[in-house]
Amino acid sequence: MNSDNNRNYIQIGNKAPDFSSIAVYEQEFIQIKLSNYLGKYIILIFYPLDFTFVCPTELVAFSNFYDKFKELNTEVLAVSVDSEYSHLAWSQMDRDSGGVGSLRYPLISDLTKQISASYNVLTSSGKSQRALFIIDSEGIIQHAFINNLDVGRSINETIRVLQAIQYVKSNPDEVCPANWQPGEPTINNNPLKAKEYFRSI
């Protein structure tokens, strides 16, 4: 699974590997198939394991911002190599005890580790890396990054990148500069018109 061909398959701009697996959502087991979400953007989160320390802080934070993601036509999906029974037990555990409580998006079981392997985020120890992918409404990977297992991700930065991706998709003649936020100037990708931006900074 770590061949050069597999790495090429998950490059930015390539189609996201499809998958189908059991998940926990609203305290029930449901079947999730990635391709069923075509037409929406996806924040696909991989995390190492249930019942750990950094992971619940991230998963709860993404749940707290779920309404914002919905406004942006985006669904959140989280994946780890735990079973659906582990996910259920963790979601039934109080947050003040290290649980995640009732999240507003599904926790997907990757017990076979095939999903993590297909996204090239499976560690040699058999856990998922702390990885995040933004998949557009056509099923194309537009953004990917991986943190050290000990370092949590920024939800605000995820939202900023998502908004930038959606902006340039709707405005193909423009690109977003460093630290761009919605409403700020963009750069026209015509060499002459781009000078207008650079003269303003």
Active centre residues (catalytic): 55
Q: At what angle do helices 54-64 and 155-170 cross, to 10 degrees?
A: 50
Do 91 and 134 contact (CB within 8 A), yes or no?
A: no
Q: Would you state the structure tokens that stand for residue 4, as one six-digit string?
A: 């050069």
Going by C-alpha positions, the residue among 25, 52, 42 that lies closest to residue 140 is 42
Residue 29, classed as helix, strand or coil, is strand
What HEC string does 28-83 produce?
EEEEEEHHHHCCCEEEEEECCCCCCCHHHHHHHHHHHCHHHHHHCCEEEEEEECCC
CA 199, CA 193: separation in Å to the nearest integer? 11
Give start and end residues of each alpha helix (H) in 92-188.
114-118, 155-170
